[in-house]
Amino acid sequence: MNDPKRPFPTDVKSQAERWREETFGPAAAGHPERKPFVTDVGIGIEPLYTPADLERVGFDYLRDAGFPGEYPYTRGDRPGMNRTDPFVVSAYSGFGDAEACNRRFRKLIEIGTEQILVALDLPTQCGYDSDHEMSTAEVGQVGVAIDTLADMELLFEGIPADSIKRIGTLGNSIGPIVLALYAALGEKQGIPWSRYTVNLQNDPLKEYIARGTQILPPEPAAKLATAAVAWCVEHAPHWSPMTVCVNHLNAGGAGSSMGTAIALANARHYLDLLLKEGYSIDQVAPLLHLFPDERHDFFVSIANLRALRRIWARLMKETYGATRPEAMACRTTVYGHGQEALAEPLNNIPRTAFGTLAYVLGGASYVYLAGYDEAVSTPNEDSARVALRTLQILAHEHGFTDTIDPLGGSYFIETLTAQVEKQVLEGMERIERTGGALAVIEGGFGRQVMTQGAVRRQRAIDSGERPWVTVNLWPQKPNVPNTAFRGDPKATERQLARLAQVKASRNRVDVEAALAEVDRATGAGENVVPSVLKAVRAYATVGEIVELWRKRFGSFAPSTEF
């Protein structure tokens, strides 16, 4: 019988068991299981969730869920969340040269984009100028070519830095340089740093195992990345100079739980470096954002965001002794995907919409959405617009954003949140035993996890265990449409011409002096951002600055671990 002292009726459990055996069982027996009900992260999904499951995972509302904007921030990192302040509608965009890109940016802003993250081409990301031999055939392909401040000025011509909520870029292996470029941009436009907000990804550690644009060995790379954070603490504490990523780790095969564990280990590595420099956790933690990712299972995605916030809060408070809410509340950026396929690209619109909806329901603050052709190429104008509109629809229609954490309290979601949390914590422990973030990279553990996961996923698709419409269900031939975005071949020519022009007209003496100062500061272990900022103002190129670091620290030598 019900015991008034216990919050949950104890006979729910036996009733649920009865239902399972006597009602559901016979009904299910008539149908062979249409697929294994196991999520990509390996958590099995029950036919039904009840209060008995909450009891099983030891759910305590006040301790585990609480309230938005209050420890442990499970239900939301800010008090109002989407209710008062809907997520920031964001676009990741860039291609060709600054001139071509500027036009696209203006279009995006016109139709309501609130944040633009600039996609840089591979040469820029890898620290090569457009005229370097390694840049052949790659200038302006996957992003815009940025060689000097002149390109930035052109890129944002007619777009004041404070005209939208946030501007930024990835710059994972060139963090201090892109930070300096964005700081110098404001100077050129006459807008003080306090009046605009810059957002950088600047997370080199994940590159080594998941994205591949690393330049230097991991230790100096991490140190340079934290220099950007430290500078912001002093000069622009409202900026977001670092977004620690799960995205690429999950995409590469790690799965969202293990990917989160690795990302948190990376975040800890950066934080520890900053603490060693003498900063306090309350100063630096607020400047780090997280970039979760789960694109296979809708509900796991929601659970992952909630578990992440809870884990981060406890980690900051209990391990690092944080006291400020901003340090303990984990702000998240997300990039909406689904299981995009190459056949019938328009199907990717609902896929990405659903994937993004999970993030919105999970409480992400900054939301991007993949173009329907993104699996194929840089989004064309049409797909960029559809992505934007989808975000706006998610923000304003259907009531998705009317209440905070709408699925909180659901038997399914709270159980799943606890299960995901457990997986992530176990992953974090395993990484600690392996030796931490650097060991994950250098010991090959990270790559092993990714390859194993990727192979497992491929097998699940090939066997049909993971259904994929137009791939293993109603299969269609993959087709990369000819409407795939094509860069303007003239753009490369223009870029090279512009680079040559800038190099010819800048003050050589100033540049040499500035570069020498960067080299000196780097060698002396000082924060490099002030000297990089001077160099950038003098129109030093990205490649010239990176070359100093390459010479000093050497290039990264990859593990032979496959």
Partner 1 sequence: MLEAMPLGDRRQIARAVSTVENRSDGYQSLLAQAYRLPRWADVIGITGPPGTGKSTLMDALTAHWAAGGARIAILAIDPSSPYSGGAVLGDRIRRTRSEGFENTYFRSLSSRGHLGGLTETATDLVAVLSLFGFQRVIIETVGAGQSDVEIHDTADCTVVLTVPGLGDGVQASKAGLMEIGDVFVVNKADLPGAEDAALDVERALAAVYSGQPGVNLRRAGAAPPAASRAPTAGVAALQRRHGDRRRDDSAWVPPVLRLVASENRQVPELAAAIDAFIAWSERSERRRRRTRERAYAQVVRALSAMLLAPYSRAPGSEEIPASVEPWVERIVAGAASPFEAAQALAKDRRLQ
Partner 2 sequence: MAGTTANAPRGRRIRVLIAKIGLDGHDVGARVVARGLLDAGMEVIYTGLRRTPEQVVRAAIEEDVDWIGVSTLSGAHMTLLPKLRRLLDEQGASDIRILAGGIVPQEDVSALLGKGVAQVFLSGTSIAEIVDYLLAQTAHA
Would you tell me the crossing angle of helices 381-396 and 98-110 to the nearest 10 degrees? Answer: 30
User: From the list partner 1, partner 2, none, which binds 234 (C-beta under 5 to 8 Å, kind-based)?
Assistant: none
In the list partner 2, partner 1, none, the entry touching 375 (Cβ below 5 to 8 angstroms by class) is: partner 2
CB atoms near residue 218 (< 10 Å): 20
**Only segment of 39-47, 248-256, 352-360, 534-542 that touches partner 2 (CB under 8 A):** 248-256
176 Cβ contact partners less than 8 Å away, ≥ 6 residues apart: 224, 225, 227, 228, 231, 528, 529, 532
Of 5 and 562, which CB lies nearer to partner 1 in the complex structure?
A: 562
- Report which of 288, 324, 290, 325 is spatially closest to residue 306, judged by C-alpha positions: 290
Spatial distance between the Cα atoms of 416 and 457, rounded to a whole number of angstroms: 21
Instruction: State in angstroms the smallest separation of the CB of 376 from partner 2.
Output: 6
| Site membership for partner 2, residue 59 (CB under 8 A) | no
- The burial class, CB within 10 Å (0-12 / 13-18 / 19+), for 257 is buried
Name the residue with tokens 């500061």.
521
| Residues 328-347 contacting partner 2, CB under 8 A | 341-342
Q: Which of 432, 443, 517, 537 binds partner 1 (CB under 8 A)?
A: 443
Q: Which of 48, 455, 497, 500 binds partner 2 (CB under 8 A)?
A: 455
Amino acid at 435: G
Q: For residues 523-562, which are near partner 2 according to CB under 8 A?
A: 558, 562
3-state SS assignment for residue 91: strand
Residue 455 interacts with which of partner 1, partner 2, none, CB < 5 to 8 Å by class: partner 2
Instruction: Please give the angle made by the CA atoms of 355, 94 and 156, to the nearest 5 degrees.
Output: 120
- State yes or no: residue 36 binds partner 2 (CB under 8 A): no
Nearest Cα to Cα of residue 85 among 387, 363, 326, 390: 363
Binding piece for partner 2, criterion CB under 8 A, among 36-44, 181-189, 446-454, 505-513: 446-454
The mark string for 355-394 relative to partner 2 (x by CB under 8 A, - otherwise) is: --------------------xxx-----------------
The dihedral over CA atoms of 531, 535, 541, 543, expressed in degrees to the nearest 10, equals -20
Token pair listed for 271: 């934080």
By CB under 8 A, residue 134 contacts partner 2: yes
Span from 189-197, 389-397, 476-484, 538-546 in contact with partner 2 (CB under 8 A): 476-484
Is there binding between residue 112 and partner 1 (CB under 8 A)?
Answer: no
Q: Per CB under 8 A, does 444 bind partner 1? A: yes
Report d(CA 377, CA 547) in Å as an integer.
30
- Contact residues toward partner 1 (CB under 8 A) are 443-444, 554, 557-562
- Contact residues toward partner 2 (CB under 8 A) are 122-123, 125-126, 128, 134-138, 141-142, 207, 211-214, 251-253, 341-342, 375-377, 450-451, 454-455, 458, 461-462, 471, 478-482, 484, 487, 558, 562
